[in-house]
Amino acid sequence: MTQSPRKSSRRSISASFIARAGLMAALALIFSYIEAIIPYNPGIPGIKLGIANVVTVVALYKFGAKDAVAVSVIRVVLAGLLFNGLFGMLYALAGAAVSLTGMILLKKTGLFSVTGVSMAAGVLHNMGQLLVAAALIEDLRIFFYFPVLMFSGIAAGILVGIASALVLRSLR
Amino acid sequence: MCYNDANKVNNYMKQYIRKADIILFIVLVVTGLAVSAALTFSHGAAGTGSEVIIESGGDLYATYPLSEDRTVVVPSPKQRASDAPAADHSDEPFAQYDHYNVVVISGGSVSVTEASCKNQVCVKHSAISRSGESIVCLPNRLVVRIDSGSEEGGGYDSVTS
B108: CATH: 2.60.320.10
Looking at residues B25-42, what average pLDDT do you find? 85
Q: What is the pLDDT of residue A20?
A: 93
Question: Which tens digit of pLDDT belongs to each residue from A75-91?
Answer: 999 988 887 778 888 88
Are residues B106 and B127 located together in one domain of the fold? Answer: yes
- Look over chain B and give the mean of its residue pLDDT values, rounded to a whole number: 74
* Chain B neighbors of A91, CB-CB under 8 A: 159-161
Dihedral (CA of A20, A60, A91, B149) sign: positive
Q: What is the pLDDT of residue A75?
A: 92
Closest residue in A to B13 (Cα–Cα): A113
Return the higher-pLDDT residue of B128 and A168: A168
Provide the number of structural domains found in chain B.
2
Question: Which tens digit of pLDDT belongs to each residue from B80-114?
Answer: 666 555 555 555 555 567 788 888 888 888 888 88
| B121 closest CA partner among B144, B101, B137 | B137
**Is B110 a member of any domain?**
yes
* Chain A neighbors of B33, CB-CB under 8 A: 147
Interface residues of B toward A, Cβ cutoff 8 Å, are 14-18, 20-21, 24-25, 28-29, 31-33, 35-36, 39, 46, 49, 148, 150, 152, 155-161
**Is B15 a member of any domain?**
yes
* Chain A neighbors of B155, CB-CB under 8 A: 137
How sure is the predictor about A96, in pLDDT bands with cuts at 50, 70 and 90?
Answer: very high
Q: What is the pLDDT of residue A142?
A: 73
How sure is the predictor about B12, in pLDDT bands with cuts at 50, 70 and 90?
Answer: low
- Alpha-carbon distance of A43 to B38, in angstroms, equals 23
| Whole-structure pTM value | 0.62
Q: How many CA atoms lie within 13 A of A29 on its CB side?
A: 19
Class of domain A3-171: mainly alpha
Domain that holds residue B59: 48-147
pLDDT of B39 > 90? The answer is no
**Is B93 a member of any domain?**
yes
* Chain B neighbors of A168, CB-CB under 8 A: 15
- Look over chain A and give the mean of its residue pLDDT values, rounded to a whole number: 85
